Structure 1
Amino acid sequence: MDKKVLLSAVIDELESKVATLVSAMEQTVDAATNEETVPEHKYDTLALEASYLAHGQAMRLEQVKNDITALRTTVLRPFSGDNKVGLTALVQLEDDSERTAWYFVLPCAGGISIPGYGVTVVTPHSPLGKSLLGQSRDEEVSLSIAGKVCHYAIISIE
């Protein structure tokens, strides 16, 4: 898989999130400042709640924009089968049921699934990302998920 194409797809996903967040934030700001949301009594907190929501959306929007900037400056390292997992590695894992999945280790944007490629972004801060860093092909990593221990074998590193 071409990591440049994958990285570009992640940035595209984040840019579409920006458009959605801007739209949602505009609606929330409108709700917070609309004359119909003026409190009628001390327990009427609709405008206050809308302003808190707008603030949270603004913070999320700023984070997504920072992620886009960080990813645009990310240098993609080439990995061979002998390398250990590091930032920008594309890792194929196999679980106990012999199902395989691909993960792209990036500094941010964790959890994004790249449409059409079957690849999910993980960050070094996530439990899976932490367990993968520094591991080699054919090694196993284990994670405790909801009290259940899951084992994964590293099939390939690109």
Structure 2
Amino acid sequence: MILQAIVDPDMRFRDIVTGWPGSVNESSALRSSGFFNLCEKGKKIQLCKGKHLSESKSEFNKRHFATRMVAQRALARLKEMWGILQGTIWRDTNRLPRIILVCCLLHNIVIDMEDEVQDEMPLTHHHDPGYKQQICDYVDKKASMLRDKLTLYLSGSLPP
């Protein structure tokens, strides 16, 4: 399945298109995307195919390469974090686009939470001296089991 992704410098997914079978030409998938249509409304330029590039074109190529590297790192991190994307779920092509979307959203949330945690993290791991963990006396056993199964499923440790 094709995943078209636009990634920002912090590796957050800003736009994704998924659902196209892997057999579809990537160019066709791109041309049918909303992002492509937005770009088509903008200024068109002819790309030079020569080996001798001007300094500005050479600089553009360097920046384009760096941008691609950020996108590749974001995709690698997505696959590492969400093992479900590597498992048997690939056989279920009906649910896969939604699962990829959710994993991308969770990926972004994790990045946002890491930023907040790093900003607010105290330098010590000790709790206040009077802190006592609060435990709820009522536990819904079925909900607890479902939560645990969901955790295993999303981590890729449990088959669908």
TM-score by length of 2: 0.25
Higher Cα radius of gyration = 2
Q: Greater helix share, 1 or 2?
A: 2
Q: Greater strand share, 1 or 2?
A: 1
TM-score by length of 1: 0.25
